[in-house]
Structure 1
Amino acid sequence: MYSPPPSDDDAKRMAAALMRAAAMLGATVHGPQVWGWHGRTLSHRANHPEHGASWLRLLSVPEQKAGGKLWEGTERAHAALPAVRKPTLHALHDHAGDGYAYRTELTAYVDEPVLSPDPVLRQELNLTDAWFATIRTTLSTIAATPTDRTAVRQEWISRAVPEYTGQPAPQIQHWDCAHGDFHAANLTQGATLLDWEGWGLAPRGYDIAMLYTYAQLAPATAAHIHREFAPLLDSAAGGTALLVVCAELLQSASRGDHPELTPRLRALVDRC
């Protein structure tokens, strides 16, 4: 979940690394710390003399694991998806020390509330037709983007779907580019899409299947999402995407995340 690292030493190490990066980028941080999934990232609001209101986000990994998909996701999304509503990337800063590598991204601050403080949607939303129209355009643009990145692998699907759903693993016939983490905590009320580290190829319909699945504790909103995207979600490809997302979230639940969602996930699997 969104929380500091289990170790206070790691939290202090990352906070110090972010402050060093802020100084190198010429940014002044303010406001509270914002931790990412299980304390893997640390973010802060910031001011920048050239770019104004900004957002600093620091990713920390063991030094030998620097680089790769998660490391470069924001940078490559900035280049590959210029028409999509997302924070503008202003600058990057990489440094290493004490066995860890750090990448800090300086992006524009998006002054729009997110739909939910965490991925699982627990309160009903009043999403407008205009919001859905923007999201539909966004998803179409992403899906049509050529990429060599991978968000979900067939090898993982072949292993995880039987293990966590009890259903046979599908062989994916249609792969589209996807955001890869398309849930209410990464979507704003202005339909801006945040957190681009994991984007890449995924089963067709994967993004909207994820938004719909994470919304199951808000049934009216889930039903609204389904109505807006019924042609996709009710298709064969959409059913496969739902099954894959359910496997992913059930795997996450097996590790202690969002256990309250598990019964709804099981019910969705039975309908896939």
Structure 2
Amino acid sequence: MPRARLHDVAEWTADGHRYRAELSAYLPRPALATGGPVLGTDVDLPSSWWADLREALAATAAVATTRTTVRQQWIDRHFTRLLGIPAPAIAWTTGHGDLHFANLTGPPLVICDWEGWGRIPVGFDAGLLHAYSLLRAGTAARIRRELAHVLDTPTGRAGELVALAQLLQVTARGGHPDLAPHLARHAERLTAMPVP
């Protein structure tokens, strides 16, 4: 797995909350996006980088876990309200859960920020990476091509819609205001329905 080596983990409970700290190896290169998860400039990455990303996502999907990143209860409660269509059947897999270019370096590829990995809908990671890149049409189009084997399937589209719903919830609360109209347009393209 192309990730920084994990040296130590500490977990504790205080003030009614559980905490976890991870000490990883220093990465000598910066993330591909700075200033947050929304991609601000196009990234030009070689085909080998994309092949490594596909391989890493496939390897992650093969890991059995009981860790949960996206909950069916959240989908049941919020999907229809945020997208205006009934929630689809979800196929589950294991994934990163927070995939965007601020958590990716390269080349070579290194995937950072693994504290939230766990069970996610198939297509969620690919859909999240694409959604966070919608301000950069060239990169967004490249993601759709490179991850079409997931995004262009019924199960992948369902997971992508869950990722869009989560980001629409964030934008409804004031987060990523520049991304909000792009998310709404993309959701409307996928659902053929106006976003509520």
Trace 1:18-97 onto structure 2 (pairs within 5 A).
84-94=1-11
SS in 1 for 2:82: helix
1:123 Cα offset (Å): 0.5
Per-residue Cα deviation, 1:219-260 (whole angstroms, up to 9, x for no partner): 000001111112321111121112111100010111211011
Q: Which stretches in structure 2 are left out of the alignment for 5+ residues?
A: 191-196
Which residue does 2:193 correspond to in 1? none
1:144 Cα offset (Å): 1.1
Contact 2:89 2:158 in 1 (8 A): no
1:208 Cα offset (Å): 0.9
1:243 to 139, 145, 161: 161
Task: Say whether residues 1:253 and 2:176 are aligned partners.
Answer: no
Normalised by the size of structure 1, how large is the TM-score?
Answer: 0.65
Question: 1:148, 1:270 → 2: CA distance?
Answer: 33
Letter aligned with residue 109 of structure 1: Y
Distance 1:266 1:96, change over 3 A: closer
Letter aligned with residue 141 of structure 1: A
- Structure number with higher strand proportion: 1
Contact 2:127 2:164 in 1 (8 A): no
Contact 1:85 1:193 in 2 (8 A): yes
Contact 2:79 2:86 in 1 (8 A): yes
Distance 1:93 1:244, change over 3 A: closer
Which residue does 1:182 correspond to in 2? 99
Per-residue Cα deviation, 1:61-114 (whole angstroms, up to 9, x for no partner): xxxxxxxxxxxxxxxxxxxxxxx1111111234567788765432211011221
User: Looking at CA atoms only, which structure, 1 or 2, has the larger radius of gyration?
Assistant: 1
Normalised by the size of structure 2, how large is the TM-score?
Answer: 0.89
**Greater RCO (CA < 8 Å, at least 6 residues apart):** 2
SS in 2 for 1:243: helix
Per-residue Cα deviation, 1:125-145 (whole angstroms, up to 9, x for no partner): 101111101101100000111
Which residue does 1:124 correspond to in 2? 42
Task: Say whether residues 1:107 and 2:32 are aligned partners.
Answer: no
SS in 2 for 1:217: coil
Q: Identity of counterpart residues, as a percentage? A: 43
Corresponding pairs, count: 188
Contact 1:158 1:170 in 2 (8 A): no
User: Which structure 1 residue ranges, 4+ long, deviate > 4 Å from structure 2?
Assistant: 94-102
User: Alignment RMSD, CA only?
Assistant: 1.8
Distance 1:213 1:85, change over 3 A: same
Per-residue Cα deviation, 1:21-80 (whole angstroms, up to 9, x for no partner): xxxxxxxxxxxxxxxxxxxxxxxxxxxxxxxxxxxxxxxxxxxxxxxxxxxxxxxxxxxx
SS in 2 for 1:181: coil
